Each structure stands twice: as C-alpha cells, then as structure tokens.
Amino acid sequence: MNPIVEPESPEDIDAIYQLNVAAFDGRTEEAELVDALRRDGDLLLSLVAHHDGVVVGHVAFSRVVIDAADGLVGGVALAPVGVDPRFQREGVGSVLIETGIALLSDESVLLVVGDPAYYTRFGFSVAAGERYPSFYSGPYFMALVVGDPAVGPIGPVTYAEAFELVN
C-alpha cells in the first residue's frame, strides 16, 4: 500500500479520534491525548495517512522540554502512532514515522516510548534514551539524537501536560 501522507486538516480530526480508538483496542486515552495536545497548542506535527480518501493512519509529534546544562531546550515526543487495524503490518506506521522524522530534521532530539524491536529501525536507541530521564524512563524509552550526539542537549525531560491522560 502507498498511502498519501500529509499534515492533518480540520476535516481529519474526527477520523483521527476514531482511528486511534480502533488502533488501541477501544481505549480512548490515546485519542484524548491527541485532542488535548491539539487543544493546548502542544501538537507540533500531526500527520495522517490517507488511502482511497480514508484516514488509515496517524502520528503525533509534540513538544517536550529538556532541562539541559545550558538551559531549557526543546525536543520532540513521538506519540501516539496509530493505524487502522485493517491496514496494520502494511507499512503505514513506518511511512508516517519516517515522514515525521524527515520533516522534523531540524530538531535536536526525538523521544518515543515503545517496542525497541520496532523503533530502532528508525534510529531510536534505548541507550540514547538514558540521557533524558523522564517519567517514562526504562527499557522502552528511546531517543533519536539528530546530528552529532556529542553536542546535543542532555538532561531531564518534561512532557506536555496532556500526557497525564496516558500515565
């Protein structure tokens, strides 16, 4: 499948909510997270994948704050990524993530919580994640440092308030 990936439009918002509920087995927390990030102005990038005019995938990227040695620095959280169950395992999630990473190439650090076997293929690393202590620290917390890791910011991370919906 070759979905069309583009930034969300106002017409996509209801479909994004329903898609995330379906993708997360009926849970509403991830769908509510996206709505809260959007409402609070913390949604940095929201991409949808369309197939035959229907939203079949979605990924959200939001701003985080890194308390680095030389002050507060912005970073990005990837969450959530959801794909319509009928289209899972067809590369929709991968193309959404790859497109988002490419569009955010000017950012210094991207963070994600998820399965390392999946997210390491995009360059995320558990070892790199250890440099960014957060509520989510642990074996599923990963970072992708864009550019030279030796000069990138390091420090504790604060997520947008909306993430309290999924804690």
**Residue 132, Cβ neighbours under 10 Å: how many?**
25
DSSP conformation letters of 13-55: HHHHHHHHHHHTTT--HHHHHHHHHHHHT-EEEEEEEEETTEE
Tens of pLDDT, residue by residue, the chain (167 residues): 789 999 999 999 999 999 999 999 999 999 999 999 999 999 999 999 999 999 999 999 999 999 998 889 999 999 999 999 999 999 999 999 999 999 999 888 999 999 999 999 999 999 999 999 999 999 999 999 986 666 678 999 999 999 998 86
pLDDT at 150: 64
Rounded CA-CA distance 116/162 in Å is 24
Is the distance from CB of 146 to CB of 107 less than 8 angstroms?
A: yes
Q: What is the CATH number of domain 4-166?
A: 3.40.630.30
